[in-house]
Amino acid sequence: MRTALAPPAPPSTLSYRLSAANTTTAPAVLRDLVVTLCRSTDHGALAEAAQLCTSEIVTNVYRHTTARVVHVDVIVGERYVSVWVHDDLPKELPAPPEVTEREGGLGLYVVDQLADHWGASLYGGLIPTSKAVWFRLDEGGRGAL
């Protein structure tokens, strides 16, 4: 008599690390990879919000840091996608700006409007050496289509 074991249950979360040189193309490359992850893991409803938020945060890394490489960690859960963008400028984030008529400076406002949760985490102890700006998009949440 043959017996078969059931295949192992898939993990409740999957983690990915994406990296790109901190150049003018980094926002486009990394946002497209995050969109592909959303769609290939059955989170297509979150893809557009993930694209916008990733692009805004990676653009801030390009404009405001001297990091040579931008690292993006993506955590895919059953009902959410979380994205962490790492850079080497360890200072705290300001609150999202008010909407004004000026051009630029609306990246965190966009993230604040689309993400269900967002923030910044500092690394390196008492004298931080790096930070990550992160956001989480929930299925059925603010950024879902």
Q: How many domains does the chain have?
A: 1
Burial label for 64, CB within 10 Å (0-12, 13-18, 19+), is exposed
pLDDT, tens digit, for every residue of 40-91?
999 999 999 999 999 999 999 998 888 899 999 999 999 999 999 998 877 6
Residue at 3 is within a domain? no
Residue at 2 is within a domain? no
Residue at 8 is within a domain? no
Q: Which domain holds residue 70?
A: 13-138
Helix-helix angle 47-64:107-114, to 10 degrees: 150
Q: What is the CATH number of the domain that holds 59?
A: 3.30.565.10
pLDDT, tens digit, for every residue of 117-132?
998 888 888 888 888 9
Residue at 127 is within a domain? yes
Could you tell me the pLDDT band of residue 100, with boundaries at 50, 70 and 90? low
